[in-house]
Amino acid sequence: MPVVQMHDLAHGQAHPHDHGHDHGGDHAHDRVHDHAHDGAHSHSHAAHDHGHDHGHRHAVAPGSEFLRIEQEILSENDRFAGVNRAWFAERAILALNIVSSPGAGKTSLLTETIRRLAGRLPVAVIEGDQETDNDARRIREAGAAAIQINTGRGCHLDAHSVGHAAEQLDPAPGSVLFIENVGNLVCPAAFDLGEACKVAILSTTEGVDKPIKYPDMFAASELLLLNKVDLLPHLDFDVAEALDYARRVNPAIEAIQVSARSGEGIDLWIDWLERRHRAIVQVRVDALDAEAAALRSCLGIDAPGKPLTVVAGR
């Protein structure tokens, strides 16, 4: 599976989910590479080069050029996110955006999760890192299909490149699709990728106050996985205090204590995943049932199983 370069790319392919929009021009992430670098990239991208400091919900003077560009990028991202969300819904795919600071244990938790879900649910992974395909390789070794997006200078994934990657990866209907975002507690909070929800990972080595220092990320997440609890005996990390901070910025956030190393808490995380997966599948099944009922009614067939004889004149 190739590595997708998100920046410094030539203009080119339309987004697989473009549906008639023109997204050519200076898109920074329209080409798929079979290698990590081609060395000949241009550095002239403007509004769509997420490697710069724009495109985030920073506090800036209203009316500034910076703010205008920022709003343009975010609204375009939201449009792509909507397309992705519809694409996932149609396939009953549970897409989760996994966010954390670098090294909190995203890939380790995913590899453990993939092993636990083997034979239970199909899993695919979109990996986001600035450089290397190390994480995608780890995911494949654990037994799931993976595609790596390298963001270069970019500090987060965006919906457009995730749409490309999802189409290439082509997860089976009813899959769980993990999107491991770039390790960063700030920027990924502002970018909807079309996921069902964000899952934030905080590890016990990072300090208890991260949720109040980086509130946007914890406010945007539905679930907090507190990872590396196996290390608690060696640390002065106060779990109750950390969870209290998380609930201060997001009273509804759920929390599960886990260790990718010891396996503690992973069962609870798998239960959570299976619940969310069932809910997504149920929504799709209900929609298909409704479509089938509408077709039956249109054809004058009132019960499933009744032979398909179209009533004349209808």
Ligand X SMILES: Nc1nc2c(ncn2[C@@H]2O[C@H](COP(=O)(O)OP(=O)(O)OP(=O)(O)O)[C@@H](O)[C@H]2O)c(=O)[nH]1
Nearer to Mg ion, 5 or 107 (CB): 107
Shortest-Cβ-distance residue relative to ligand X: 183
Nearer to Mg ion, 106 or 198 (CB): 106
Nearer to Mg ion, 126 or 246 (CB): 126
201: Cβ–Cβ under 8 A, 6 or more apart, which residues?
Answer: 98, 99, 100, 104, 105, 106, 109, 224, 225, 226, 227
Contact 110, 180 (CB under 8 A): yes
User: Count H helices, E strands: the chain?
Assistant: 8, 9
The nearest distance, CB 107 to Mg ion, in angstroms, is: 3
The nearest distance, CB 287 to Mg ion, in angstroms, is: 34
When CB distances are held under 5 to 8 angstroms depending on the partner's kind, the choice from Mg ion, ligand X, none that residue 261 binds is: ligand X
Calpha distance 3→70 (Å, rounded): 27
Per DSSP, what are the bridge partners of residue 126?
A: 147, 179
Contacting range for ligand X; rule: CB under 6 A; set: 141-149, 225-233, 294-302, 303-311:
225-233
Contact track, Mg ion, 88-107, x by CB under 5 A: ------------------xx
Nearer to ligand X, 104 or 142 (CB): 104
Contact track, Mg ion, 117-156, x by CB under 5 A: ------------------x---------------------
Q: In degrees to the nearest 10, what's the CA dihedral of 263, 98, 213, 190?
A: -170
Q: What are the tokens at 206? A: 């990072």
For position 105 contacting ligand X by CB under 6 A, the verdict is yes
Number of C-beta neighbours around residue 57 at 10 A? 14
Calpha distance 86→167 (Å, rounded): 13
Applying CB under 6 A, which residues contact ligand X? 100, 102-108, 129, 135, 183, 227-228, 230-231, 259-261
